[in-house]
Structure 1
């Protein structure tokens, strides 16, 4: 599963490798002459994420720039209240039901984990976000969310923001408009904000769930421990979120010149916070049986047998006013997915590698489920 993350950090290409190679520094590490800078400790990361008056993000989920004038004095991005544990429990029920239906529909086939999870996660997230919807309307919204997520793919994967007249941007505009129109017709509050929550709350759990299924399929011994009760599902969830957090890096932009851990940052400087990097630090993560030296790289759910450990210390859901509002739902979905997987036998068809085009997700992610 995570062989590309567990080994060969020095050889990992792209920004992923550049960020990981910043580990071990006690000051922010510049990736280029004019940045971006990587926060290399938990204290630096918390400072960046919890001080929106100094550090903010100037793009929305679809990479549309926010005008500088809109950023003066306050964040241009609304703060969304966290979803309740009651909604998270409802989302877990929907997820298991939809997983069983999806597996029955494709019985005997090899499954691409990303494709297998799309519809169940979209419907589960929609049920948590809009619990009053009838099942048929929920499914319509979920399909529209998936259409927008698909249209967002080329926009997010592009090395630079796309112009409004490009085909990919027009396609994304259309999918977003159709989703927002449907939400408005169904009486959802603030359709643009709800659409963003639904898209993020679908795309991220799908990627995390795919890593989870691939990781279990690659490790029969972990499956056996789950089956016999030697591991709790939540231990597997936290370990997957540590080794392969789908939101592996988040950016903030300085609103004014400032200093972070002794490093001067100019106004408009980009600072990166990486849960993936933080999740490798020995002071945040207990040692596992298979770790090599101080760096916590190998996937080992048993490390969370340590009752003194604090899962999530590496900020997989962020921190501060813009922390993930779907944390409870995401954890419930992934825990339910692990329990569901433990009732089956998973085998990995071929090695999985890291695709960096939209966050990090496994490709191929082919799994046999029996």
Structure 2
């Protein structure tokens, strides 16, 4: 675990001189065939020339597309495709304003590789198929990503509002009995973690019960990053081939060096040179991915690192990491339960009788660990409790 806790908890150095280099795409991208734990077979003959959006791997409607124009070589030893760029780097969007039937909508999103970035492993078409769309059902346009690193709401509202309105109208015509709750065109309040958690957002903003399981058949939840790629696909014919990547920098004093930087990075980009530059110029040796609230692996800069847009959306750099992961003894401050956003009472996990812990309410947001002054890691305790196995008290 890192020596810092959360970017929402420590100070921000707005005058930081730390310069985050721009990730540079090299001429050899590596695309793996793993799609959320599922192995996809290669499509077509290799080597061959490919264009952005061309299918490289596919099983059913699950597919991984080429992020560049170039020559594709299949590596049998690694079950991956190596791409050498020999054409334009950027995809040329082709604007089309049109109406869609339900089948046309799903087909186009599947063909362009659009999936949910709110629920791992789900295609948008799959979420739509399981959505009941009956009386009392809702479609939600959420303004917040899970971690709040990137402001997709502003991108949608300032640059793509007509397209958001058009997509909203399409859904209203398809799901006639459902209410579309649009928090994109309505100005949202300031983000506070875990506002981007779908279960939490639905209960807090939509007057819905805190569901144990999510996604739920009565709710079609579309976060802002998912919406962004839906809009890009439907109205600009842009396939899902790259993703926004935020980079945050935390120094050893627990101060965030400036606001998070945001880059668009193509799937399969080798970020090794990016990290080496940071190490040489700033002596930052460690980084983690995606979350500063939940336990994530800590990497030491030096090894090769390939950007996989199904796995990575944020990088957090750090000067140091904790010298030890051994927690202290609970001092009964009760901060873990006090700061729990859904009153799940995680403090009860440290007692012999753990029945007070509301495991069905728990979001697994990580705030109980973040606020613990003696660094008790509640992650494993919560996981074990939810599996209904015995957890021994910390004493």
**TM tier relative to shorter chain:** under 0.3
Structure with greater strand percent? 2
Structure with greater helix percent? 1
Return the structure number with greater relative CO, CA threshold 8 A, min gap 6. Answer: 1
Q: What TM-score comes out, normalization by structure 2 length?
A: 0.24
